[in-house]
Structure 1
Amino acid sequence: MTYYRPIPNTDAARPAGAHTLAGGWCWFDRVEELHRDAPARLIPAEEVPEEALLRLTAPRPAICGIAFDAPSLIGILNVTPDSFSDGGEHFDPGIALARARAMQKAGAQIVDIGGESTRPGAAEVAIAEEIRRTAPVIRALRAETDLPISIDTRKAAVARDAHEAGATLINDVAGFTFDPALAPFAAKSRLPVCIMHAQGTPEIMQNDPRYDNVALDIYDYLEGRVSALEALGIPRSQMIIDPGIGFGKTLEHNLTLLRSLSLFHGIGCPILLGASRKRFIGTLSGVEEAGARVHGSVAVALAGVAQGVQMLRVHDVTETAQALALWRAATGP
């Protein structure tokens, strides 16, 4: 199989004949052609087969009313006692609702609400408890705003209650492989989905993650999951993909993925980058406390946007929104 990684650019001096990447703010006129059994080579975009080039260039349809001609922000709202960065901070429903309001005011286009920590080593939460944590917050938020709400869950029963409460998207860190009832529920309910890659469950994912080729392995996984969900009746146009930074990856795996993000445009779906406050940022910056990794998180987010990543899942909405505004003003896309 041949893979094509566009080389993104945002410079104002765009050459004639350059292609727009995924209908967004980047352009490209060169592509890295990748193989598992041969050296990579740089080729002109015109040499990319027509079908592959169309996937790289076609504008992504809106999802939950969110257009993808500019980067969008997903605010993280963990209503858990033990998430790696903000565990316990929003466990009280009133505090969680206030946090959601603040993120919307700061520029979040969607709020992602999760009731089960998926940090390395985390144990599974009972379905009833996960519903108890998430559904009331979703219901209260929906009562006062039409802001899109994502339910971050691996379980169909949790997603069902969340949808009844007002959630409009399902974000599954297990790529819809944990609960066989979740993908059919999404299809039947006509809900858009975010498909993430993780190697192993949270309990064991960081024990000894290994890949033949981390970028190509995850590309194949995500393409396979997208095709499987298409077969169940979920349109590709209503899917978001997430390479799963930090989920069953070493530091080097994470860095390779960050350098290879534009590869995933070849799947034809919007790309979500969820690297906010993660351990590798602390390792590289020497910042142990997760909540103090704001600056490193913003830097990684901007690196993703420079590769055409359409969605940024972040804890620090205000800071990331400010950085994006300045980045776009300075670069001009």
Structure 2
Amino acid sequence: MEVTMTLWVLTVVGLAALIAADFVIGRKPHDVSIKEAGIWTVVWITLACLFGLGLLVFGGGAPAGEFFAGFITEKSLSVDNLFVFVLIMAKFSVPTQYQQRVLLVGVLIALVLRAVFIAAGAAIIASFSWVFFLFGAFLIWTAWKLVQEARADEEEAEYEENKLLKAVERRCGVADRYHGTKLWIQQNGKRVMTPMLVVMLAIGTTDVLFALDSIPAIFGLTQDPYIVFTANAFALMGLRQLYFLIGGLLKKLVHLSYGLSIILGFIGVKLVLHALHESGVHVPEISIPVSLGVICAVLAVTTITSLMASRKQEALEPAPTASEDAAKDGVDA
């Protein structure tokens, strides 16, 4: 797909305008209701679909198919991010009315960092076609690792601050409590960060770790930097609302890691086949329609089996005894 500099500028300006509008709407700290989160989730998905239809009209079926395959893949992988976001919010005891502001800025940081990753990935692919072998092998290894982690059944997962975040905290200092939405305050004559800024940086920098598998995954579906960037942008921008919408549902998606591992493994195989084809080896390549169908099918089956397993587990759990009910009533009273 031929993308001019003018189109790049218009796209970035348009995305920036959407982000600014989202910031203005959520500027006042408040508890986000399920209704509000649901409405805005639909809005972001609709905008992504309209963008994909625009690619279909002006660019043809191939770019549109690549965008939708990339968007669905990035969206499904970003749901896995929400598990860690929940841990981060708990780790820093973020008040519920500030969580939407934290997610907005954190996701914005993640988007900027991903843009850097995408630019670097596109430059590497343009210069070294053999990098597809590395990307493919890495995705297959990541898929296997996801399966191992899912089977480990780590119930007491806890967020651990990365070295970069710890270094920033030591260098700048951190206030002992939240000060509304302020990011910096004066404390004992010294300018220090508030916990609000720390948790924003935690979410933004943690997403970089997820980008290590999501960026190679989408490059396995398309090598067009424009489609890679826009698919990532639309997937990330609706992440804040999705956090509040399916926060309670996350615990029920018990098979999500298995589904994501299948998707990553599938794209890894697709990348290896593409690399072999580019090297002159006559092997079949997996088309975008097939990729899109496999991704959607895996997500659908994963969701259904997860909900069935969760319902079965709830049915097996013993009902509370009369003494437990009485104790609970006493606490409520």
Task: Please give the range of the TM-score, normalised by the shorter of the 2 chains.
Answer: under 0.3
Structure possessing the higher radius of gyration over alpha carbons: 2
Say which structure is richer in strand: 1
Q: TM-score by structure 2 length?
A: 0.23
Structure number with higher relative contact order (C-alpha < 8 Å, ≥ 6 residues apart) = 2
TM-score normalised by the chain length of structure 1: 0.23
Greater helix fraction, Structure 1 or Structure 2: 2
